[in-house]
Amino acid sequence: MADLHQFGIYACPACKHLLHQENSMLRCPKCSQSYPIIGDIPEFIFEELSQSTDPELRRMRFIDKMAGIYETNLWYPIVMKVYGGLHSLSLPQLIGMVTEMVQPAKGRVLDIACGPGTFGRRVASPSKEVWGIDVSRGMLRQGAVYTNMEGISNVHFARARVESLPFCDGSFDATICCGSLHLFTDTVIALREMARVMKPGAILAVFTFTAGRGGILKYRWFRKLIQGYGLHAFTLPEVEHYLTASGFDNFHPKVAGSVLAFSAQRRTEE
């Protein structure tokens, strides 16, 4: 049985009012919308991925089935070599970089498109409590299995979209977004929503892909092809421009092959 504290942070994604827990529901006292809690995971998305008319959600319809292999050698090492190139980073190296970027933060960490908590479970510490959101129920359930197995009690999962986060303004001391920024239809809308729920000065740590230098992303035809599917292979100036437009400063990129890891900071004054 989950404690109240775990669900006390969630706000209505529609009207941003803090939600009340009623049995296995979170209810909005302002707009009366209810959100079910299924297996300790609140659901803020009402559609099934396979039936969604939203291309971003439909694209993710196979991801539920990948949950079991996501952290095995069948996924990350292959994806990183194919997209990032031979000189790209391994999963432990990426986890190390992201963990170091958010190291100074204490308090609440938001994990955007958290999957089974691959990064969030490793970032969580006695001084950092992690809230992960993802559109994939399969990934979130796998994450709950891992946290139970590993005895981790300070990582929480919710099914929600980056464009409509179920949190109040300024809720988080840091945000991580690992392996998903290139998947969001509108990068600025996604980054602005992250900025909204972050405290001024909070650190954003991201790993995504950049155009060129290694792997299949160095080929223009491949970048064109993935753009046709609504995916992005960012250039560094593009990322910096999107960050500035979304309320972030202090862009610090690190590139290995076609892998881009960067940190940025939520602007202190708008």
Beta-carbon contacts of residue 114 (< 8 Å; ≥ 6 apart): 120, 132, 133, 134, 139, 140, 143, 157
Residue 29 or 55: the one with the smaller Cβ distance to Zn ion is: 29
* Nearer to Zn ion (CB atom), residue 15 or residue 74: 15
Burial class of 24 by CB neighbour count within 10 A (0 to 12, 13 to 18, 19+): exposed
The least distance separating Zn ion from the CB of residue 11, rounded to whole angstroms, comes to: 8
CB of 17 to Zn ion, least distance (A): 5
Q: Which is nearer to Zn ion, 16 or 232 (CB)?
A: 16
* Residue closer to Zn ion, measured from CB, 17 or 106: 17
Q: How far apart are CA 91 and CA 12, in angstroms?
A: 34
Cβ of residue 16: shortest distance to Zn ion, in angstroms? 7
Distance between CA 44 and CA 99 in Å, rounded? 28
CB of 108 to Zn ion, least distance (A): 21
Q: Which residues bind Zn ion (CB under 5 A)?
A: 12, 14-15, 17, 28, 30-31
Nearer of residues 15 and 69 to Zn ion, judged by Cβ: 15
How far is 17 from 61, CA to CA, in rounded Å? 30
Please report how close the Cβ of residue 31 comes to Zn ion at its closest, in angstroms: 3
Task: Report the half-sphere exposure of 32 (CA within 13 A, side-chain side).
Answer: 0
**Rounded least distance, CB 34 to Zn ion, Å:** 10
Smallest gap from Cβ 93 to Zn ion, in A, equals 41
30 vs 106, beta carbon nearer Zn ion: 30
Please tell me the distance from the alpha carbon of residue 215 to that of residue 37, in angstroms, as a whole number: 41
Specify the residue, 30 or 58, whose C-beta has the smaller distance to Zn ion.
30
